[in-house]
A and B are shown apart, each in its own frame.
Chain A
Amino acid sequence: MAQTTVQPPPEAGSARVLPSRAGRPRRSAERSRTRFAYWLIAPAVAFMVLIHLLPTTAGFLLSFKRLNTFTFAQLFDAPWTGLDNYSGILFDEANPLRSGFFGAVQNTVVYTFWTVGLTLGLGLAIALLLNREMRGMRLVRTLMLTPWIVPSFVVAVLWQFMWQSDVGIINKVLVDYTHLLGERPIWLLGENSMWAIVIPSVWRGIPFAMIFFLAGLQAMPRELHEAAAIDGAGPIKRFRYITFPLLRPLIAIQLLFGVIYAAYQFAIPYIMLGTNPGPDADLMMTLIYRQSFQNNLFGFGAAASTLLMIAMFVWVLVWYRAFKRDLEAVT
């Protein structure tokens, strides 16, 4: 990783020798440089506050309000309800929305596990395959990136048609052409609907993981592999003891972003399965969207959003503890 701390200027050393004469101008120059740096980051900070911090704070505030059909017009003036929205979601057996919430939590965990696991696993496998010199490799690498440039909306629409049980290409291949299956499975309903959203998500995510790993593989010193090969290490041992440990920091970063991105996934399930994907594929984001924007239960939606954000915060802490050493090793 590149060093990002601002280095002291070369004259700073000599200034230390003559504190009485050069102290004030040095401090003033530093201050003006610092001020300049603040000005440079100010637009980004203002943007972040406006786009992320304010809505997040407002959402957090709304999670303590009784914001429903009858109070929507009051918005931030809606009555305070303390922790009712949270306790309703987490502990109130009589709350009809509770079962849907826990189902969505479970589905989100399953979706995230498979999406991130398969994306990273397949991304790494393809990167290893493409990390060699051969004719046409550049073309192959470029083609492998294609799913990445397709917008999520288009991915979801395409796969929705491909999954259709009667006329979709997937069942045509599995049933009509290859006869691998006797009956036409229904992909967009029931338990299969989870796979119907995991697979397109993985398909779209693989190129990014692949190119990330490929960059890491190409930056690896060849001598390590050559030396290990001379010592008799086979490809599996070389992968286990050289490649994989050196890729751990890259895996760490992909895991961090991958899990957060998957937990907040909305476009693919929403477009493929609608606002209510059913008990087998209803994710946290589709549940929050439905309860907030369709059912006007904004207090409930805001509380569920906050719980999801806390879960992500915990994940970041866990991640940091798990990969602290790897991140230190690369800098």
Chain B
Amino acid sequence: MNVVVLVARREFRSRVWSKPVLGCSVLVAVLLVTFLFLQAFVFGSEHPIRIGLAGQAIGLAEGLPQETASLGLTVAVSQVDSVADGVAQVKAGELDVLVSGARAALHVTVDNQLDPQLRTTLNGLVRQQVLDAQIAQLGARPQDVLSRVDQAQISLTQLNVTDPERVQRVAIGVVVGLLVTLALAGAAALATAAAVAGRRDGTEEVVLTVLRPRRLLLANLAGPGVTGLVHLVAVGVLGVVVALATGVVTLPGSLLAGFGTGLLWYVLGVAVVGTICTTRRTAMWLLAGLIVVFVLSTILLTADPGGTATAVLSVLPPFAPVLLPGRLVVGVASAWQVPLAVGLTLVLLAGLTAKRISLP
């Protein structure tokens, strides 16, 4: 067997299911899934407004849900026996809104505040009723008049169209960036542990008698790198499945593209990170650097993903692994920026490996 493969395989096998690595991955996976479930069932969900209808207002039972739905409002309509009973239910918190009275003079009872959109809807219904009566009084058919009114609309020209899914795309970019950052930090820790243990136990010296330093470096990168990749793929696939299954993400194409480019940048990033990390000191500096890069990247991606500064930073090695996948998902990165960023990262990697010292 090739010696590089032999050394890399040993490093991989000794770490891939080790307790610290497994523990970190399980923790990240649990946090990710918890976040997605909270987003799906707590933060992102809308409880329907419970509306009770009393008296003549019962006639609104069919039309009211349609009117509110056109404004993006979900309601649950029910009938109550009397106004007094409805008021009691509002006080008890069993109803959010009680609607009573004639259609041309509806009376609304709430515990505290009336949803502005619901107020607009109910006002519209009352005004419509009054308008119908006035038109009928003038001898015209209200349906004909309203039909003509509905046809009269403004014409619209949009100079800057905002992507309605932009927030979702940015969120995907940030989460992918976070996962790549965490995976790189984990790989840095593993590479450092391997380098420190190699010097302490003399195993590095033994291998160097049969392997040139550059090839040993390759083997030492491959072991922790593939370990991190396996865990990143596992956590990422779980995240993709849960995000799509819960409906938190409605853009599967963007999600898969973001995840795929994240994996590519992890592979490049881990080569750089593993080359730098030979001591605990450098690993700590690198970890701090990764956090700074992630925070800055998130700010830039959220505030101005298409800006010049963001575009320039996204092709530079420290920022590319986190920022470029995010910009690709948002759809503001040009295709040529990817090979440029990859090229710059490879140049940095070549410089780092040339300076790497194998023995103390």
Are A and B co-members of a single complex?
no
